[in-house]
Amino acid sequence: MQTDIPNLLIAATGEKEPGKGGSGFRKLVLASRMKPDEVGALRANIVGVMCNNPSGGVFTKAEDLVVPFI
């Protein structure tokens, strides 16, 4: 994790069904993991995600991407 860039906690809404939803969250995480000089890179550390649906798609994506789910 880079220390010279901001840490972000993502607040997301998502589908209730596992595997559905969370595509925007996934895109943010992947963009944050790109090289800084790549087009579309997000210069931030995503340190966690919170969501109103604790077992939905955002939770599934967080597990797959190894991002803490709050």
Beta bridge partners of 11: 50
pLDDT at 1: 55
- Amino acid code (one letter) for 50: M
Q: For residues 58 and 14, is the Cβ–Cβ distance under 8 A?
A: yes
- Dist. CA 52–CA 3, nearest whole Å: 29
pLDDT at 18: 76
pLDDT at 9: 98
pLDDT at 29: 97
Domain boundaries, the chain: 7-65
Digit-by-digit pLDDT tens for the chain (70 residues) are 556 899 999 999 878 887 788 999 999 999 999 998 999 999 999 999 999 988 889 999 999 999 999 9
